[in-house]
Amino acid sequence: MSKQPFLNTYGKQILIWSVIAAVIAIALKMGIDQKVVVFGTVVIGVFTQVFAGLATLIATIPLIGPFIIKIFAIPFFWILNALGYFVGAVAIKKGYRSEFTKSRILTLALLIGIIIGYIIGHLIPMR
């Protein structure tokens, strides 16, 4: 495997992560508050989609890469689901039962649409 296709594919993510690491190191050496550095990193990471790029780079590691991604991704979705239940319980207790029911139905419809789209996408390939 040559290096050229790898760098063409992942060069942007590697460059962005290098810049982020350098900025973090400089900011911490200058004495900027760690909370500000973390917040800035998260904001920049979300808007540049560099976290997805990092996950892709980790997933390219043979044999163990996909397992590492699953180890981090699955608990993240469990936490989001648990937060949804807690927020739902508070919303029902505060009297927002009808709005909560509508949002859950909308979420269920969205998930069913994603599943149907995934199935159709695999039955009718775009190539």
- The total number of structural domains that make up the chain: 1
Report if residue 105 sits inside a domain.
no
Task: Read off the pLDDT of each residue in 45-56 and give the average, rounded to a whole number.
Answer: 81
Q: pLDDT tens digits for 4-34?
A: 787 787 788 888 888 889 999 999 999 999 9
pLDDT recorded at residue 35:
92
Report if residue 4 sits inside a domain.
yes
- What is the domain extent for residue 8? 1-60
Report if residue 7 sits inside a domain.
yes
Report if residue 71 sits inside a domain.
no
pTM metric for this prediction? 0.50
Q: pLDDT tens digits for 100-114?
A: 888 778 878 888 888
User: Cα–Cα distance between 44 and 47 in angstroms, integer?
Assistant: 5
Share of the chain above pLDDT 70, in %: 96
Separation of CA 84 from chain center: 17
Measured in degrees and rounded to the nearest 5, phi and psi for residue 61 equal -70, 125
